[in-house]
Structure 1
């Protein structure tokens, strides 16, 4: 092993340590990439990659517009009307209330793809319903946070846009390739959490009069009555993109669909146009800073790895041992998700550095990129450091570790299934 590779290994281990300690992910990835490029006597490669990543038109348009629309949905309270519309019919289902609640949350996840945003919108409502029905708070919280997998059906999700771009296909084409498998994964998560509930004996039918005692948590974020026109708003862009993709020959960008959804939300809620416009553009900026920022940083990190020769070494190794590509694309992002509480940095870094070379070791770019994406997501849901998990733990009044004890076995099984079936 030469000096460059040895130093690159030390820097990568240091980056993993810093991410595990929850240092700023963008700072860690950019610093590590610059250090590796500098020690390889090729510092300009990192800077050139920074320029290239920060001006990537297709990523900026899709991701920023999706984040702008999400901000508008939150501002106009359309998200909570959607939650109320879907939770009202649940009624008294006994133990079946848990999978029913997860199905409702899964539908909301398609329209509200942010894990933290989804949990903030639905947890204050669903967790009290489940607790009053006889479920322990920990399993109620686990049910909410583990229902986020269907978010990958949303074409505005950054990972969909990123993998589709490096694969050279449309976002809707990528979603279509894995739509059935994603549906199976989503349903299996619901089945898994329900089985964990039964195994842990987390459900006990409440006695008469015990509901008030068990359910002091208030669903105070919901309106008194649901407005169907409001509730439909978060689904408008997704429905438009699906319709145009399947039923017409017309092409529609993610940004166009998000803008139409914003106009619809503004029209039906009759909100202040100036406030809606400000929120849309402010959240577009946050999308660039928080999501594209990680993509840019991951690109610099990958450029440093390439300059140090790590990527060539890794590709040669994966080419001679094809089975390890699938292991690396699943176990790597999963472990990083567990360690850091975020599957984004690991999945983006892996997809930036390794996934474009998937054909050299017997896989397609789409499959390897999607495998890394779902593995990082499963790892995040297995971590007590996950932001959405911490949020639902606070609402339920339990420790994050109480939730992880219920989510971890399910997500580990899902990782194994993803390894074999993606």
Structure 2
């Protein structure tokens, strides 16, 4: 909670004199936590040794996330090169009156499939987000109105992937297979996507 507190407390909305980014907030929080740990246990070597678990965990997450992003970007690049994305965008834009909804469905399907295949909502969104401005302009709507529901749906779709980190972690804890877990999450997440998209259309 400390990095979040620092980011909020030192944000322009609260205190403008000090500018703090996410990386700095995390490093400062780690140092504070290490100092408190040393003061509490009074064992400098053991505290420093235990703190290595943080960096090891960061390395594992970084490796998997970067791999997913690279794979998703290659998939997006390949679809662009063969003209698949452009064809779908042009076809959706050519449908009068229904262009907005068709475009939204097309981008949602692309993002959800990519999130399920890669197991990462961020990787899917980072890979395909450059397509959103073009898709939005082709049907004459603000990019935000298309980007928000698509980004939220990508995050929701992540929990429908059997290779997502959270599904694998819960699978290991509960002793269930990832497939058994996503059978339970898919119906709920479909409802979540519908609610998310509907809310975005109403408020944006």
- 2:20 is aligned, of 252, 265, 269, to 252
Q: How does 1:1-400 map to 2 (within 5 A)?
A: 235-245=1-11, 246-249=13-16, 250-270=18-38, 272=45, 275=49, 285-320=59-94, 321-338=99-116, 341-352=119-130, 354-360=131-137, 361-400=139-178
Distance, in Å, in 1 between the alignment partners of 2:101 and 2:30 is: 45
TM-score by length of 1: 0.38
Q: CA deviation at 1:248?
A: 1.9
Check the 8 A contact 2:72/2:114 in 1, yes or no.
no
Distance, in Å, in 1 between the alignment partners of 2:73 and 2:179 is: 33
Provide the aligned C-alpha RMSD in A. 3.2
Distance, in Å, in 2 between the alignment partners of 1:340 and 1:348 is: 12
Distance, in Å, in 2 between the alignment partners of 1:396 and 1:297 is: 29
Distance, in Å, in 1 between the alignment partners of 2:63 and 2:165 is: 18
Q: CA deviation at 1:343?
A: 3.7
Check the 8 A contact 2:73/2:128 in 1, yes or no.
no
Distance, in Å, in 2 between the alignment partners of 1:280 and 1:396 is: 24
How has the CA–CA distance of structure 1 residues 238 and 395 changed in structure 2, closer, same or farther, with 3 Å as cutoff?
same
Unaligned runs of 5+ in 2: 39-43
Distance, in Å, in 2 between the alignment partners of 1:372 and 1:351 is: 9
Distance, in Å, in 2 between the alignment partners of 1:295 and 1:403 is: 24
Highest RCO, 1 vs 2 (Cα 8 Å, sep ≥ 6): 1
Distance, in Å, in 2 between the alignment partners of 1:303 and 1:289 is: 21
Check the 8 A contact 1:330/1:419 in 2, yes or no.
no
Distance, in Å, in 1 between the alignment partners of 2:134 and 2:6 is: 33
Distance, in Å, in 2 between the alignment partners of 1:412 and 1:328 is: 16
TM-score by length of 2: 0.70
Number of equivalences: 187
Deviations 1:27-49 (A, max 9, x none): xxxxxxxxxxxxxxxxxxxxxxx
